[in-house]
Amino acid sequence: MDPFALKTLNAERRSRRAAILVTDMGDGRDRVVKEGDLVAGDLGQAIAKAFRTGLSGSVEAEGRQFFLNVHLPQPRLVVIGAVHISQALAPMARIAGFPIEIIDPRTAFASAERFLEGSLNAEWPEDVLTRRPLDRYAALAAVTHDPKIDDYALKAALDAECFYVGALGSRKTHAKRVERLLAMGATPQQIERINAPIGLDIGAASPAEIAVAVLAQVISAFRSRGLAGKAKGEAA
């Protein structure tokens, strides 16, 4: 392995950016391809697919054999609101492989008795997200209904290009939210990225069912990263 390639790869990994180490198995030469780099031809297609799936493996392209070792940052799920839906979502997200962080300044909601797992922060989103900023490998679900708590986090998620942004609330609630976000400086293109009403349309009714709908939508968004169009369904 080329020492420069190792340094580059580790720097990307530390910065929570996706990268692939591409090794030519014929001559052992390797290089780092960062997400968004343009690579032509069959190899480029295989690389794009590997970024999406996160799966490492061998590919043949241009008559040569390459090994693609994919390094994706661990995706995480940040939930604004320690509500009933979040209580159901916490264990589900863990099982699905998304570490979950729950943020809610209302201490009556964000209590250790109500949440047996996940990282729980009884603080304002402004404070937590300054300490632990969102990034492209974070999903944000805002489920408090309360503009004072949700809005800042939604704007931060759009600016950080989170791979998923969802907000609970009816179309009417969302229409008002859109006005507020526009006033905060969000662009219409950014606002288009918000999944609202939140969750895939599976007819979810109970808080646990809505949690399933949200988690499914998060997974769909994660697996279709970089593809045209957004994974959008609706429920809740």
Partner 1 sequence: MPSSFLDEARDPLTIAENWMKDGKDVAIATVVETWGSAPRPVGSHLVIDADGTFHGSVSGGCVEGAVISEAIEVIGSGKPKMLEFGVADETAWQVGLSCGGRIRVYVERLG
Which parts of this chain interact with partner 1 (CB under 8 A)? 1-3, 6-7, 9-10, 13-16, 23, 25, 28, 55-58, 67, 69-70, 73-74, 76, 132-133, 135
Cβ neighbors of 74 (< 8 A, separation 6 or more) are: 99, 137
Residue 14 CB, shortest distance to partner 1, in Å, is: 4
C-beta closer to partner 1: residue 84 or 136: 136
> Distance (Å, rounded) from C-alpha 233 to C-alpha 195?
8
> Distance (Å, rounded) from C-alpha 143 to C-alpha 175?
16
Residue 41 CB, shortest distance to partner 1, in Å, is: 22
Residue 57 CB, shortest distance to partner 1, in Å, is: 6
Cβ neighbors of 210 (< 8 A, separation 6 or more) are: 85, 88, 168, 198, 199, 204, 235, 236
189 φ/ψ sector (left φ>0, alpha ψ -120 to 50, else beta): alpha
Helix (H) or strand (E) segment spanning residue 24 = strand 19-24
C-beta closer to partner 1: residue 55 or 205: 55
C-beta closer to partner 1: residue 76 or 155: 76
Residue 218 CB, shortest distance to partner 1, in Å, is: 17
C-beta closer to partner 1: residue 88 or 134: 134
